[in-house]
Amino acid sequence: MSRILNIGAAQMGPIQPDESRASAVARLVAMMREAKGRGCDFVVFTELALTTFFPRYYEEDRAKMDHWFEREMPGPETRFLFETADELNIGFYLGYAELTPEGRHFNTAILVDGNGKITGKYRKIHLPGHADHDESRIVQHLEKRYFEPGDMGFPVYRQNDAIMGMLICNDRRWPEAYRVLTLQGADLVVLGYNTPDINTTGLYEPSYLRSYHNHLSMTANAYMNSCWVVGTAKAGVEDGCGLIGGSCIIQPSGEIVTQATTVEDELITFACDLDMAKLGKETIFNYAKHRRVEHYGRITSQTGVEIADQAAE
Ligand code: ING
């Protein structure tokens, strides 16, 4: 019998800097209710789904940015979302900025089950951008200033009949991330993203490439790892800064089965047959039969240039 998981990707439109968490949570709850009404068992929200993308702002005193972070999850302003999940018996992925009791800062995502209980956590490993103010940039991208790299590796969780892994935004551009998850059996990878619609370094990049690379990163890795991929955007113009949309649900063949067409709050849904992952996992991407790590040669953390130079010696 096929394992059908009815999934919703709940794309968010912009969250302006002065929008309250209560307002953002109300928008998430509305899409959760819409997802339930459309038969969903699980809904994927986005990265930093409770606030504006605050790493675009430079603050000398990092402590002054702590108000963008959640000290507890659920907390007073987010409990409503968890209570609604319990009421509707629907699970979800939620991205947010985490401030731990020890004072550590992470770009975090959690899995929550249909009883409103947290069943899994992931902390973003690939932090793009920079740590200090970069005056050459059109817009700052200070994730390296405000977050530590994740310290949990890439865990997988059995939930809603799936083996589910989480990524966050820039992680989706790194093939290793999907491979580590699918080496653990993942047949579903869920992620949120906040992606500027221009190259904020000021280097020229045709803007259409932003959307092309977004889908390329996820579709190629869905195929090469034979897994479903759900990518959910925070989209639209936040404080004058554009973010791409393009939220989508991708089947293990690498084909997009549904995608968002706006840059607003928009729910897309699909009845995902998780067993579609079996074809690739049992044939072309059967790691046990065909993957030959022992023949890959020296794998080090060095960059290719260092290795090539050494080879030339
Ligand atoms: N945002 C962007 C992302 O990886 C980025 C940053 C965009 C890096 C385009 C490289 C190219 O989608 C986050 N939040 O990671």
User: Which of the four pLDDT bands, split at 50, 70 and 90, describes residue 37?
Assistant: very high
Mean of pLDDT values over 11-22 = 98
Q: Which residue has the higher pLDDT, 311 or 96?
A: 96
Best residue among 53, 138, 141 to mutate for probing ligand 1, ranked by most atoms within 8 Å of CB: 141
C-alpha 127 – ligand 1 centre gap (Å): 9
Helix, coil or strand: residue 134: coil
C-alpha 310 – ligand 1 centre gap (Å): 32
C-alpha 122 – ligand 1 centre gap (Å): 18
289 catalytic per annotation: no
Could you write out the DSSP letters of every residue in 172-215? GG-HHHHHHHHHTT-SEEEEEE--BSS-TTSS---THHHHHHHH
Is residue 188 predicted with pLDDT exceeding 90? yes
Query: Catalytic: which of 36, 47, 98, 248?
Result: 47
CA triplet 138, 143, 148: central angle to 5 degrees?
A: 160
Per-residue confidence (pLDDT) for residue 302, from 0 to 100: 65
The structural domains of the chain, with segments of one domain joined by +, span 4-283
User: Which of the four pLDDT bands, split at 50, 70 and 90, describes residue 2?
Assistant: confident
Fold assignment, 4-283: Nitrilase/N-carbamoyl-D-aminoacid amidohydrolase (3.60.110)
How far apart, in whole angstroms, are the C-alpha atoms of residue 170 and residue 174?
8
Q: Could you tell me how far CA 151 lies from the centroid of its own chain?
A: 16
Q: What is the pLDDT of residues 167-186, one digit of tens each?
A: 999 999 999 999 999 999 99
Q: What is the pLDDT of residues 121-172, one digit of tens each?
A: 999 999 999 999 999 999 999 999 999 999 999 999 999 999 999 999 999 9
C-alpha 169 – ligand 1 centre gap (Å): 6
Q: Whose CA is nearest to atom 12 of ligand 1?
A: 195
Query: Catalytic: which of 169, 227, 241, 272?
Result: 169
47 catalytic per annotation: yes
For the CA of 214, the closest atom of ligand 1 is 12
Cis, bond preceding 74 (omega within 30 deg of 0)? yes
For the CA of 48, the closest atom of ligand 1 is 14
272 catalytic per annotation: no
Q: What is the pLDDT of residues 287-299, one digit of tens each?
A: 999 999 999 887 7
Q: What is the pLDDT of residues 211-236, one digit of tens each?
A: 999 999 999 999 999 999 999 999 99
Query: Catalytic: which of 36, 124, 234, 281?
Result: 124
Report residue 259 as tokens: 């995608």
Question: Ligand 1 site: residues with CB under 6 angstroms?
Answer: 128, 169-170, 173, 193-195
Q: What is the pLDDT of residues 228-275, one digit of tens each?
A: 999 999 999 999 999 999 999 999 999 999 999 999 999 999 999 999
Residues 6+ apart with CB under 8 A from 153: 180
